[in-house]
A and B are shown apart, each in its own frame.
Chain A
Amino acid sequence: CSKNFLAIDPETTANSDNFYKNQEEVEQAVNGAYNILQDLGRLHLWLYGEMRSDNTTFQYNNQDRGLETREFIDQFLVDASAEPIRQFWQLSYQGITRTNDVLARLDEVEMTDEKRAQYRGEVLFLRAFHYFNLVRQYGGVPLRLAPVESPDSALSKGRAPVEEVYNQIVSDLSSAADNLSNATISSAEKGRVTEGAARTLLAKVYLTLKKYDEAIDQLRKVSTMGYSLVTNYADNFSPEKKNGAESIFEIQYLGSQPSLSSNFMYQFAPYTSGSVVTQDPNTNLGGSAGWNIPTQDMIDAYEEGDKRKASSLAEGFTNSSGTFVAVPYVKKYNFGFVEPGQTDVNFPVLRYADVLLMLAECLNEKGFAANGEAFNLVNNIRERAGLKPLEARDINGQDRFREAVFQERRVELAFENHRWYDLLRTGKAVEIMNAHGAREKDGSLTIPTNAYQVTNNRLLLPIPQREINLDNLEQNPQ
């Protein structure tokens, strides 16, 4: 009797003693691993992937200074204690832990080999996704490949070398792709990781590592998987056309559920725009709006007649008293709301246009071919945008073509969190960001005078001070 009297399990949550017992519960754990993408997508992916770059900045909010550390990320003034730096690290490792939890228990639970392979592939992709973000933002990071089972093993073995992290990413993605090769994802489950997603991300990793042959190999495989460019560029972002033919992987949101909905339209609207941008009079735009504001340089990057410009950004808004206010904003994710403050928009991570551009870039790196396959790949995209094709008489060499792809990526993939990483892997970040800083500071009354002092060291985020203290990690030189 006494044993039962004292054996009380929580009623409102499961616990690890009674969970992971069947396939259904394993699937729930896999879904739980995806869940963290939503939080990462809502803020961190664009904060570090886009706003830190020359594409966007923020609208200075003189009424609400509470998110100043977020501004410091844009301005290269951030220090190791800043809240967003810590959160990004925390969420990424939460995501990694969830994948490790699945991997550690997968073999003990009864299910078909196909399902087991599929789950393994999905979480390996997710683990690689997090490590790829971490290694590009922080450099070498602790490698956690198994769940922590007790407080004794809470400390890590320290920061793994960058190369080791990349080896793990490549291994995870290769394995993910193999495991997913037989998976069939029903339309009711669209949004799960597929073989195509794993190979695309693997190609991106190879490209980052400048392993062009390996990248080409993966990209070629992806190009046979049935993906295609959709006719209308804006359809890629419309909640009506989620997970379309061009989509390879996107973060799924559900507008009807408060905790699963997205809110990009609100965050990216000028905070002074009231409801004229969002058309939602019941959601107040305070300090959580006015972010990821396109720079003039970004606006100018679109060629005359580029159809993508109008569906990607607006150069200002007409306020309720009829005055045009020239605060630009990202429009790509404005498709209305489901409930006040809740939108149904997904966020693209990998799409086929990226595959084409990556392939073009790799081919060019292997050797310039006037009007060759690489030209065709880029021109497919330019054609959809209503632009004239690139031709070898203008783009007359490898360097020129490299520049053209770089420019094409900027506008095609604008505000999709690729820019910062493109700056990094092409080695142009320091030059471009200092030039961007000079433009931004010119005439500004709000940007601190010591902002945008971009050096090679400052391309990496500082390791969160909390982790330095608790885990004895070495800080990045600043």
Chain B
Amino acid sequence: QEKKQITGVVSDASGPIPGVSVLVKGTREGTTTTAQGAYSISAAKGTTLVFRNVGYTTKEVAVGDEPTIDVLLETSAEGLDEVVIIGYGSQQKKDLTGSVGTVSQTAIKDMPVSGVNQKLSGQIAGVQVRTPTGTPGGGSQIKIRGSGSIGAGDDPLFVVDGFPLTSSSGRTSNPLAIINPDDIESISILKDASSTAIYGSRGSNGVVVITTKKGKSGQPNVGVTMYTGLQQVPEKGKPTMLNAREFAQFRKEIIEDNFASRGLVATDDDIPVEFRNPEQYGEGTNWYNEILRTAPQNEVNANVIGGGDHSQYAFSLGYFNQQGVLRYTDYDRISVRTNVSTDLGKRLKVGVILAPTYSTQKLNNFETGFTDVLTSSLWLSPLVPVTDANGNRTSYISSPGMYAGPNPLNKLEFGGTNQKLFRGLGSAFAELNLFEGFKAKYSFNIDYSSGSGFTFNPSFVGGINAPPESYVPNSSTSKSSTTNWMSEVLLTYEKELAPGHHIDAIAGYSAQKERLDGLNLNATNYPDDLIETINAASLIPSWGQDVQEWALLSMFARVNYSLGEKWIFTGTVRRDGSSRFGANNKYGTFPSGAVAYHIGEENFLKNISWISDAKLRASYGLSGNFNIGNYTYLSNISTANYALGGQLAGGRVATSLQNNELTWEQSKEWDAGLDLGFLNSRINVTIDAYNRITTGMLYDAEIPYSSGFGNVTINSGKIRNRGLEFSVNTQNLVNAFKWNTSFNIAFNRNKVLQLNDRNDPIYTGRSGEGNYTHITKVGGPIGQFFGYIKEGIYMTQEDFDNSPKHVTSVLGSVKYKDVDGNGIIEPVKDFAIIGNPHPDFTYGMTNTFSYKHFDLNVVVVGSQGNEILKQANQHLFNIDGIFNVDRSVLNRWRSEENPGDGMTPTTNGARVIYRDVNSSWVEDGSYLRIQNLTLGYSLPESFLKKSHVIKSTRLYASVQNLATFTSYSGGNPEVVPRANEGGLSTALVPGLDWTSYPLPRTFTFGLNMTF
């Protein structure tokens, strides 16, 4: 049939769209729209034109008699035609061969969080996001498809605009806070090995690929978003401590019970005067509540996006401020981003991205141990009032026979840490169109950061058991800078080899290097509090410098080959050389392959009208994990001086064991998936099954001290993660009242298949008494809880006489199970598995409703079947009398006649083993959380038209962390162990909860406008 010329303009709600690809369906004939959105193409009547652009729903229009076809594209939330960003490129969702999750920008747009990682919660099957802390500017932990690593960390790799960042997880400071979430255009999560293998030795924990907003030709589009909000700590989950009267009574009874156990009677003289008459006290001071507040949070962002025929730009400016719900803590961030590109002639395009971020964070000693200011607010004496008779803060909180400490309000106000961080991401690229379908791109990327922290502890604040009278002012200073650069050449080639045989391929070479320089100084003996800088100090008792460097050289390639409409094949390979690995194992190769079969294109399914699409996928590949520290394979020689002849004598000793064989850990994963669309894609279902075997796991194996070392990093063992992921997106109602649901659920099973040669279990963690808290052994999942099994208490003399005992046990003290049956209770020997931190499944559901100008968005996330080890019970249940404690102590055993609840022991003895890890610390950690609820109202267009300036205005109110349904007694069931708990990788001590910065509930009111 005869071809004719078709012209038209492609636009969206805000005007013409440049760069839209226009194709004649089933051919390679095509063009792109101009800066004005215009196109011209020759096509025959009866053929179909396909209009396709990133961020828009692809549209197909049949060519009829009309010579003009104007097209209105809708911005896509998601769908099969959506263009998905993958590693080193993009693909249409329907052409994906691997398992890649995308995050709907609509679902996450109004969340008041500092970093994009916190927005991912509940959005993608198999991606578990936990926010363990409410620290302003704090971070989250992301885990994709379970724990594949025990010693190298299981954080995914984050790639921003093609640049792999070095860290993606942080607790008190969020490394991803450097990207203003408002600047993000798309987020993809690469889950299976065929998608991640292109990242080689860094891909095995999954990859999060983020692209930021780029310029577009056309009229400048100005967007402004802002919100203001308040954060509050929910009442549920707050610790329940003794009040003043109860505490005085408790302390009095400890003495009475001790005397009674020795056949004596305590008199008033034996009891400190403070505790003699508990009735004189009322509630007393609840220190935890005293340090909390309702805190504001604000954010303002503005961006301009536009461009002409040859140049495009995007600029943005953002300001974020979060005051902490703990007094005197806050976080403040200014971020700027520019993204400019221009054509230099017909073949060459160049561009630059610059994105500096500056943030300040005021923190304190949190989440470090039982003496941190937050934890001390739990156990400080409730007898001491916050202020004295003159209204001045009580400076030192102490009661007889108790741990004492500074007034936490003073510590927070005057002893805080000020952290500053500048971090700038920058990149420049040049892209040369060599000939049809063949492009060469060179890019240079740099990530520079410079941070500092300063803490001054003035004389009048004091410390734990260090009253202000004797306290010497001191300070600590840290400074560090990191430079990470990457130089990369990328070749891309795309060609229709023959009708129905399409190929696109990439090949690249990159070099990346990072260097960190850190310096820290502790200064003391300041004469007074007047000058805080180090020059005023008279002693520098300790200092240190750190330099960390690594380098990575990589070659990689990928080929996609599609055969007709039905088959797509993908093959990738990457070869990485890393400075981190031992001399004998510097290089590794990571191949993968995948195939997709559009079974829906087969006639037997094509005719079923309610099935709109059906695709089968299968992939297999290899990826690695290189997070092992920079010099781990070497035997490092550190300074260990001595004194000789009254002078310093320089000494050096080996502090680690050499391992020349050390290398990356390797994950082999297969994935089988099914993508289904029903009822004209109103229902889309994706199901994936995977099996990932990680071998040669990097871990800090504990070795006998007689070797001279406590541990050594080795490659050993085998872990399997296998699971099922199921997600469904439905458009339940599509008329005036719209209702969309997306739901996902993931089941992962983690099993250790092999450890070292002898399959010795790995014991990890440290209880307060120095014993293990976790065990990893063959046949079970990683990091099960390990401790005494609490059976109750020795209720009667007969019970005591006839039961196995610890050497310190007494009548009424805690009764543990004699696991080894030798008649004696001993730590570790009588430890057993007491809980499992891994969930049976995790899930998330987002419901979006809209009616006329209103929209409502609800995000629910949850986890089922995991347990938590509440290590805070070490001090919350302490029966020494030196701490204020949990109210459960009121029901303790005092005598055979007054045995209490049968679970809480006497204060008379065996206190050390009672504060050791045991089964009463294990709780069910299942939860369901309403993560976010947002109600929005968009002003009617008719109303805005009068302004001639404002294109759209939307008002909304949202609540973040609205409610958590859980039986867990702590404040937040999303627990992540503190970094280096017990000096070991956090992956081996999962499910451990301490006292975390409380996670607030945040109410915000916001405004989004475009001009």
Interface size class of A (residues with CB under 8 A): 35 or more
State in angstroms the CA–CA spacing of A77 and B630 once bound together: 43
Do the beta carbons of B881 and A260 come within 8 Å of each other?
no
State in angstroms the CA–CA spacing of A90 and B709 once bound together: 8
Looking across the interface, which residue of chain B has its beta carbon closest to that of A186? B645
Do the beta carbons of B712 and A151 come within 8 Å of each other?
yes
A437 contacts B by Cβ under 8 Å? no
Of listed A90, A189, A259, A284, residue having the most chain B CB within 10 A: A284
Do the beta carbons of B637 and A282 come within 8 Å of each other?
no
B391 contacts A by Cβ under 8 Å? no
Do the beta carbons of B643 and A254 come within 8 Å of each other?
yes
Do the beta carbons of B631 and A252 come within 8 Å of each other?
no
Looking across the interface, which residue of chain A has its beta carbon closest to that of B647? A188
A63 contacts B by Cβ under 8 Å? yes
Contacts of B637 in A (CB 8 A): 13-16, 19
Least CB distance from B587 to A in Å reads 9
Looking across the interface, which residue of chain B has its beta carbon closest to that of A258? B541
Contacts of A101 in B (CB 8 A): 653-654
Q: Which of A355-381 contact B (CB under 8 A)?
A: none
Do the beta carbons of A34 and B645 come within 8 Å of each other?
no
Contacts A32-B651, A148-B657, A284-B466; A15 near B631 (Cβ below 8 A) = yes
Looking across the interface, which residue of chain A has its beta carbon closest to that of B513? A5
Do the beta carbons of B911 and A80 come within 8 Å of each other?
no
Least CB distance from A125 to B in Å reads 14
Contacts A82-B770, A466-B705; A65 near B634 (Cβ below 8 A) = no
Q: Which of B517-550 contact A (CB under 8 A)?
A: 524-525, 539, 541-542, 545-547, 549-550
Contacts of A339 in B (CB 8 A): 525, 539, 541
Do the beta carbons of B712 and A79 come within 8 Å of each other?
no
B299 contacts A by Cβ under 8 Å? no
Q: How many residues of B contact A (CB 8 A)?
A: 94
Looking across the interface, which residue of chain A has its beta carbon closest to that of B710? A90
Interface stretch, picked from B28-36, B596-604, B823-831, is: B823-831
Contacts of B654 in A (CB 8 A): 16, 97-98, 101, 147
Contacts of B643 in A (CB 8 A): 191, 252-254, 257, 260
B577 contacts A by Cβ under 8 Å? yes
State in angstroms the CA–CA spacing of A451 and B524 once bound together: 42
Interface stretch, picked from A206-214, A230-238, A405-413, A442-450, is: A442-450
B586 contacts A by Cβ under 8 Å? yes
Q: Out of B465, B577, B650, B712, name the residue touching A286 (CB < 8 Å).
A: B465
Do the beta carbons of B657 and A187 come within 8 Å of each other?
no
Do the beta carbons of A31 and B882 come within 8 Å of each other?
no
Do the beta carbons of A64 and B403 come within 8 Å of each other?
yes
Least CB distance from B335 to A in Å reads 32
Contacts of B465 in A (CB 8 A): 63-64, 284, 286-287
State in angstroms the CA–CA spacing of A242 and B646 once bound together: 8
Contacts of A189 in B (CB 8 A): 644-645, 649
B912 contacts A by Cβ under 8 Å? yes
State in angstroms the CA–CA spacing of A34 and B648 once bound together: 12
Looking across the interface, which residue of chain B has its beta carbon closest to that of A342? B541
Contacts A10-B631, A31-B650, A258-B541; A156 near B704 (Cβ below 8 A) = yes
Least CB distance from B880 to A in Å reads 4
A6 contacts B by Cβ under 8 Å? yes
Contacts of B645 in A (CB 8 A): 186-191
Contacts A62-B401, A98-B708, A252-B644; A28 near B909 (Cβ below 8 A) = no
Contacts of B763 in A (CB 8 A): 466, 469
Of listed B660, B703, B911, residue having the most chain A CB within 10 A: B703
Do the beta carbons of A148 and B707 come within 8 Å of each other?
yes
State in angstroms the CA–CA spacing of A6 and B512 once bound together: 10
State in angstroms the CA–CA spacing of A17 and B633 once bound together: 11
Do the beta carbons of A467 and B705 come within 8 Å of each other?
yes
State in angstroms the CA–CA spacing of A141 and B706 once bound together: 9
Do the beta carbons of A467 and B704 come within 8 Å of each other?
yes
Q: Out of A12, A191, A284, name the residue touching B467 (CB < 8 Å).
A: A284
Contacts of B881 in A (CB 8 A): 62
Do the beta carbons of A35 and B401 come within 8 Å of each other?
no
Q: Which of A233-281 contact B (CB under 8 A)?
A: 242, 252-254, 257-260, 275, 281
A225 contacts B by Cβ under 8 Å? no
Contacts of A79 in B (CB 8 A): 806-807, 826-827
A383 contacts B by Cβ under 8 Å? no
State in angstroms the CA–CA spacing of A191 and B645 once bound together: 6
Least CB distance from A477 to B in Å reads 11
Looking across the interface, which residue of chain B has its beta carbon closest to that of A147? B708
Do the beta carbons of A81 and B828 come within 8 Å of each other?
yes
Least CB distance from B71 to A in Å reads 50
Contact with B along A161-189 (1 / 0, CB 8 A): 00000000000000000000000001111
Looking across the interface, which residue of chain B has its beta carbon closest to that of A14? B637
Do the beta carbons of B828 and A35 come within 8 Å of each other?
no
Do the beta carbons of A35 and B642 come within 8 Å of each other?
yes
Of listed A33, A68, A148, residue having the most chain B CB within 10 A: A148
Contacts of A286 in B (CB 8 A): 464-466
Contact with A along B689-727 (1 / 0, CB 8 A): 000000000000111111111101010000000000000
Least CB distance from A464 to B in Å reads 8
State in angstroms the CA–CA spacing of A188 and B645 once bound together: 5
A436 contacts B by Cβ under 8 Å? no
Contacts of B262 in A (CB 8 A): 445, 449
Contacts of B466 in A (CB 8 A): 284, 286
B470 contacts A by Cβ under 8 Å? yes
Least CB distance from B718 to A in Å reads 17
Q: Out of B467, B807, B880, name the residue touching A450 (CB < 8 Å).
A: B807
B283 contacts A by Cβ under 8 Å? no
Do the beta carbons of B703 and A155 come within 8 Å of each other?
yes
Contacts A6-B577, A69-B912; A154 near B401 (Cβ below 8 A) = no
Do the beta carbons of A14 and B770 come within 8 Å of each other?
no
Do the beta carbons of A31 and B636 come within 8 Å of each other?
no
Q: Which of A32-82 contact B (CB under 8 A)?
A: 32-38, 62-66, 68-69, 72, 77, 79-82
Do the beta carbons of B644 and A13 come within 8 Å of each other?
no
Contacts of A38 in B (CB 8 A): 642
Do the beta carbons of A15 and B634 come within 8 Å of each other?
yes
A316 contacts B by Cβ under 8 Å? no
Contacts of A287 in B (CB 8 A): 465
State in angstroms the CA–CA spacing of A421 and B524 once bound together: 41
Contacts of A9 in B (CB 8 A): 631, 634
B258 contacts A by Cβ under 8 Å? yes
B232 contacts A by Cβ under 8 Å? no
Q: Which of B902-924 contact A (CB under 8 A)?
A: 909, 911-912
A197 contacts B by Cβ under 8 Å? no
Do the beta carbons of A81 and B771 come within 8 Å of each other?
yes
Do the beta carbons of B704 and A448 come within 8 Å of each other?
no
Contacts of B513 in A (CB 8 A): 5
Contacts of A445 in B (CB 8 A): 258-259, 262
A83 contacts B by Cβ under 8 Å? yes
Do the beta carbons of B644 and A35 come within 8 Å of each other?
no
State in angstroms the CA–CA spacing of A194 and B19 once bound together: 85
Of listed A62, A156, A339, A340, residue having the most chain B CB within 10 A: A62
Contacts A190-B644, A191-B643, A259-B542; A28 near B704 (Cβ below 8 A) = no
- Besides A14-B652, A93-B706, 19 new A-B residue pairs in contact (Cβ under 8 A), listed by A number: A8-B550, A12-B546, A14-B636, A28-B651, A31-B650, A32-B640, A33-B653, A35-B642, A68-B912, A69-B912, A80-B829, A89-B706, A90-B710, A151-B703, A260-B641, A282-B525, A339-B539, A340-B472, A466-B763
Chain A residues close to B by CB (< 8 Å) = 2, 5-17, 19, 25, 28-38, 62-66, 68-69, 72, 77, 79-83, 86, 89-90, 93-94, 96-98, 100-101, 141-142, 144, 147-151, 153-156, 186-192, 242, 252-254, 257-260, 275, 281-284, 286-287, 339-340, 445, 448-450, 464-467, 469-471
| 10 contacts across the A-B interface (CB closer than 8 A) | A6-B579, A10-B547, A12-B546, A14-B652, A28-B652, A35-B640, A64-B465, A82-B769, A89-B706, A149-B658
Closest 7 pairs (CB-CB, A-B): A97-B708, A31-B651, A32-B653, A32-B651, A254-B643, A471-B704, A16-B635
